[in-house]
Structure formats: C-alpha cells, structure tokens
Structure 1
Amino acid sequence: MKLRLVTTLLSLLLIALLIPAFASAAPQGSAVGIPLYFNGKQLNPEVAPRIIKDVTMVPVRIIAEELGSKVTWNQAQQQVTITKDSMSIQMVIDKPSATVNGVKLPLDSAPLLIEGNTLLPVRFIAENMGIEVNWNDVARAVYLKETKTGSGSTETVLPPTGQPDKTDKPATDANGKPLPVIQSIEMTPTQLLIKADSGTLQPSVFSLRDPNRIVIDIPNAVLNPSMYKNEVTKSGDTVSNNVYVSNVRYSLFNNNPYSVRVVLDMKESIDLKWESGFNTAALVGVLNKAKYKVVIDPGHGDQDPGAKAVNGRNEKEFNLIMGLKVYNLLQKEAQIQPSMTRNDDTFIPLDDRGKFANDLNADAYVSIHGNSYLSTSTGTETYYYKSDSVEFANIMHKHLAAATGLPDRGVRQEAFRVVKITNMPAVLLEVGYLSNARDTELMFDEAFQDRVAEAIVAGIKEQLNIQ
C-alpha cells in the first residue's frame, strides 16, 4: 500500500512539473489550434484546449464522456457535475475550487465557460480522473491517456525514472514485426550518432528558424525507455559536444504510427548531411557550415509579359535578363546557394513562386521588375510587406538607388503577393519605368544591367552579413 501511494505521488509530481512546460510551449492566451488526443485518438471538441495565464485548460465534457462518465450542467448555478461509479466531482464556473466526493479542493485556475463548453485545468483532470498527460512541444498538442490498475480504479502509475515499463509490449509495425529501438543519441565534436538495436532507420530532416533548429524525424522507430528523462512526456536530452549545437532534445513524437523526433538547437545556421547509416540501424550525421539560400524571382513570364516598354520590348524580358545576371554573380559567392523561380520564358503562378521559396526554407527573396505608368514617370522603388522585411528593403534600396542613378522614389509597403506569402525577408524591386524613354534606354543597356546586378548582390550580402 505504501509503495503504491509513493508511486502515485511521484506520478502526480511529474504531472505538476509538466504543467509549466505546457505554458511555455504555447502562446499566452492561445485559443487556436491545440490538438487534443485521448488514448491515441484525436478528439474534436467544439472548443480546443488553450493556455490561459500560464495554465493549460482542456474541455472536460468530451474527456469525461470518453471515460464513460456522466456530465450534467446546472444553468442556474453555473455548475458542472461529473459522476462515474462512486466518484462525484462538482465545479462552478469562475470559482477556483472543486468538490470531489464532498472534499473541497483548490484549482490552479477557475473553470471557464466558453461557447457553452466547460474548460478545466489539465492538472486537475490528471489527478482526479486517472489520466496521464503528455505535452508534445513540437506538435503543440495535448495527449491524454487513461491508466488503469487491476482493481478497475483509475490512477496514474509510472515506472521508476530511467527504468523500462515491464508491462509494455514491444512496438511493432502493421505486420507485427518489432520496430527498431533507438538505444543512444550522441552529439560528438564532429558527428551526430543515432544507434538502434536492429532494423533500419530512415530519417527525414528539415530546418526551423527563430531560433535555428534542425529537426530529424525517424518514422517506424521507438526510444528505449531508459533514455527518458521525463517519463510523462517520453522525452529527454543529451549533452552536445559540437561547437554548432547548444542542445540535443528527443522524444517519442507519435505512437500512431510510431516515430521519434530529434531536435538540434543550433547556435547558427548549419547543414546536416548523413555520412553513412541511412537504411541501417545506425545513423552518422555530419554538420557543416550552411550556405545561405537566396531565391531570385524574375517577375512575369510566357503569356504574362508584364509592362510594355516604349522600345517595344516586354518587362518579362528585362526581368529575366536581370535575374540571370544576379544569379550568376551569386553563384560565385562561397556562402550563398542561389535559386531562381524561372530561368527561361516560363509562367510561374505567384503562389507557386512563394511556395518555391518557402519549401527551400530560403533566407532571402528578391523579386525583380520594371515599372510602368506615365511617359514622364521615372525612378527606382523598393517594396516590402512584412515587418521582417523592412531592414532588408532599406538595405536593398540603398544599393539599388545608388546603382541606377534614377530618381529615388523610396521604400514602400505594399501587399504584393510574392512578398506577402513568403516566410523569409522578401523585397520586390522596381528598377525603373519602362513607360519612360530614358529609363527604358538605361534598363536595356548592358553596362547599366551589370551595375544594377552587382548592387543587388551587394544588398543581399549586407542583409546576410557576408563580407
């Protein structure tokens, strides 16, 4: 009896320690899009879980009903009652306490009534309804799991920290074949080493910014429970001995289907390449200084000619000439990996241009255009839309306006599609006016084009802090 009580108290302590992590992992007052899972099944409550004043609140009715409990609502008293077998829980909206079988207990936060749904603090749910709580930091999701003892009562009972749960069956694939069990994750001064007991590991890798992280997903694999530093979240971390990596975190990211996620917290932007081990039971990854990814977007193309120049040529032609010149110069920069949305007379939809840059996880996006209005209109303009692009626009315009020598028409904010939907700093350059005879003559002069291309490259390098 004493052992069972101690185990239960340890479990509740782990859950209590977990709650602050919930708050730090989602926006304060967040009311949107926190998925809720119960016993591996995603629930679809009318009101999603949310973080309110550092407390994770979850909708109680849908959870209670999944447990087979009865939920009743007293409109006059603003009271919700949950009953199951001999258990009775009563709570009143906006009152910071609850009554469990006649015993009054404090709540971390008072119950809320939102759109006809009662939300309760998740710790109360865990402690009083026999539910294990997991917060998945990357997926931003709440995972609830009912835990039962042999007597039929519900309580959270976790194995001793660092020891495997002897009641767990080996994880298997759809054919009943045991999945690889990752035994160790190590970040050495030169390599990332991930070792499993058997089978094959097939990782996928992507990067995140602000802050810089490398995320490695390994499907059809599980972690050895001895690696858990937090039994509730089935997660842990390990010391990094690499100059580029500040910390290594890992977790059992999903259990339907199984997958493991490893996150490298980076000190700067770095590329991870698998040196060996792909499709084997051991992965060996090497970190190298990453190249900055820059997307050059020559506007218009094919059936979309853009503005008509006074010399009879089209804007799409000027844009492509300039884009290729900038691209060729960027290829000579050791720290830059340039890409183009188009390199010939092809039409690319605006959303596809933005998606191209977003999928590359580019560091900068430059769209090149020629303007048109009146025959007397002249000058150079630089456009941006998002707040993260203001500095880039100012830098680029400084270089561009000096190179064209045309009237400086300034930096402007405008919701052009390509600078609105891109995830990185993005600018749209209007080099000059094709409706103006003098501007047009310059814009189709090769010496002018070379000078402007060099200025654009200089602006990109300044934005990326490349000497």
Structure 2
Amino acid sequence: MKKLGFLLMLFVFLLTVPKPVAADAANAHIFLDGEPLSLTSDVQVVNQKGTVMIPIRIVSENLGFNVKWNKAEQSVTVENADTLVKMTLNQHQAEINGAVVELAIPPMLDKQTTYVPLRFVSEQMGLDVKWDNQAKAVYLISPDTGAETVPGSDAGTGTAQPPAGGSQAGVTLTGMTFADNRLMLETEGKIAPSVFRMNAPERIVIDLPQTNFSERFMAEHGFSDSKRSGELIVTDNPDVAKVRYAMFSDNPSTLRIVIDLTTAKNYTVINDDSGFIIIDLNAAEDSGGTLPALPPVGDGKKTVVIDPGHGGTDPGVTSVSGVKESDFNLAVALKVSALLEEEKDIHLVMSRSDDSYPTLKERAQLANNVKADIFVSIHGNGSTASSANGTETLYTRDESKLLASVMHKHLMQATGLRDRGVKYQNILVTRETKMPAVLLEIGFMTNQGDEAQLLREDFQNRVAQGIVEGIKEYLGIR
C-alpha cells in the first residue's frame, strides 16, 4: 500500500500529547484503508480527554520507515528517500528537511512509547479519521486510496460505517469558529440546518438535525458526553455577545446553536453540502437573511483570498525578540487588504482579520466556497538553526506553479533577503484549495538579521505592495 506520504507527515504533526491515560480506547482495533493493523498485546490505543492517540510504533512496525532514536538527544528521526523529520521530546518544534513546524505541546514518552494524536492527521493531511466509541475502533483512510473505504462502508455515499455490531454514527459537528462577523461550522456529513431569528432577546438560532458533537469538538471545547453544552464568548464584536451550543433533543438527535445578539441582525446562510456551513452576519439590511453572501458572479472581477497564517490559539513561531508569527502575518495581510480594497477589478476575502484561528480546513473551504481565483497565505518562517534565513514561496499542486513563480519574483524584489526559491511542499491550505494557491514564507523570524527587517513598517509596506503587484500580474490586472 502506498502510505509513505501521509504516514511520514503523521510523525511531523504531533500535537497535544500529555501523559496518556488508557481509557475507553484501550484494546481498540485500528483499520488502515479498510485493513486491520496487527497489534501486539502490549500496544494500546489511548483516548485522552476525547483525543484518540496511537503509539508511533504502530506506524513504524506496519510501514517500515527508517526510524532512529537518539538517546543522548532524546530525539527521533524518520526518513525516506527525500524527506527527513526530526522531533525532540519536551521541545515545541519539529523539523522537516530543516524547516520548523511549531507544536502546541511537545512529544512525550509513556513507558517507552511515543503517542500520536489522530486529530492533526485529519486536519493537516486530509486524512479521514473516525473513532467509534462503542465498537472501540479507529478508522484511518489515506487520501491515496481514492475512496473512503472502511469495513462495511457505503461506497455509494462515501460515508464510513463501523463494522457489523458497531454503532452507526450520524452527522457530527467537528468545528466552530466565529470571526469576521461570520459563524463557521464544520461538520462530518451532509446536513440541512434550520436557521431562524428570535427576539426578546435578539438571537439567531441554528438547529442541526440528526447531528451529534464529535469527540474532536468536545475535546477542543472542554466538555464530555455528560455535559453536552457550552458557549463561545465573543469579545471583539459589538453586535454579538456570545455563541451558545447544546444538545437540544435526543430523539431525534438535534444540536442547537444560538448566536446571542445585542441588536437585531440579518444573516445569510452558505451551505454547499461540503461539510462547511457559514452564518454570515454581514448581510445587507434588506436581505432578510436570504441573499447569497458570495462575491458577485459575472461582473468580470477576480476573487482573491488572503490568508494570514496561524492566529488565536496557534501563534506560530516566536521571533528572536518575542513577537508572535501570527501577529506579523496579520499585520502584513491587513496592509495587503488595504491595497486590494483600492483595486476596482478585485473582490477581496480575508480568512481572518483579527487574532482568531480558523482551522486549516476552514480556510481552504472558505476559498472554495467563494470560488476564489487565487489563494495567498502569508507567513513568517522559523528554524531551530538561527542561521536559517531568506524568502521562499511554497506550492503543492502543478496548477499553482505559475502563480508561485510570479509571486516569488515580486516578493524577492520587495524583501531583498536571501532567495530560497520556489518549492513544492504538501500543505493542507495549498492542497485542498481548488484554485491556484501559494504560501509565502517572507523571512525567518528566528534569524536576527531577517527579524530586524520583518518588524519594520517600511519593510512590511514594501512586502504588501509586492504581494499585490504579484497578484495583479498573475490575474492580468493593470
């Protein structure tokens, strides 16, 4: 089986690995593309506060990567012919071919076993990961299979089903974010939400029929099956106080989400059955909650999505002087936004305009939903080697090569830093978007020389102008 691609990245995106506690996931079965993995008796699958984790040895024993453990450094390296990944216990950064990936919580050992959380596999690699709590089974479906195949799957719908005797999961709510006056819901499975207004007090109600909270959602929002409710406090919007969510009905299973308003608001619902639902409060006053919130179609304008990387709970790398990458990314993106707003032939869409964290999947899906012509993600770079420096532009799909080349040319003219070139890299936001997409690594925040430039206002202005010039050249806008 061709599993090297996603399994190598499985090692890279280690996240949230506190000391494991073998809970109800112990002795679980693991299916990889429909085939059960053979586990020794001493191997356990761990459910840590709603996060399912598997030992790293499951991967190495079944796929045969070259895995080396350095006892003196307390580090593990994983490599194939062209990629090397290095991770060190109790450190918040991993390296992939020398480039740094930030980890929220460092890798840890428990009784000589390193545990890998499955959530990031799904988010970062497009891997479908399903956990059946009653059947005690984990399903891993890699993207190179061409289908979502697990034992007993319904090939006609692509919906994974548990093996005979297990429970059948309905639609699940897997993510929720409020940013830019929009409530974004991520579901696993198709759903037709019921959305309506209520007053005294003012609020917008979203009912999701035949839907349950996913384990991922419960883990992220800090509650369990016994406490099926919670709220998301909104601090930066004068019209919205908070977003509440709860299990509204067990029969049929219905989730209710309520946007508590300080004043009456219209809304637009965007739902293309892709598992991504947007309740947009930016609707015109006379829309009545029925007009589409997509950029106008057929007016000859191009739609550009600007994505400031990281944000909120994911700050990215930290610069030499302690500046968060997410703040730098947003500062440059807002300058780009201000310039693009002046372009009469461009519709601008921002994935975030504040210190919030849309997931990587949400960013890509947003670009797909608005049918963007191009997607540009803005980042600062980082490395454990303080000497690493320079500017590079990353792409994933062949159709993005030309955009990457054009953007890099203008970016290099703007930065004047070392030219690290245009490179292929398997990144979710540039892989899952359906239009030409690039990720710009403007410079290394972990390099003293680069950082001195990156944090200067005039440098950021030049970079923003360079990004806009690249976008205009690629789109043929004068």
TM class by shorter-chain length? 0.3 to 0.5
TM-score by length of 1: 0.39
Give 1 or 2 for the bigger CA radius of gyration. 1
TM-score by length of 2: 0.39
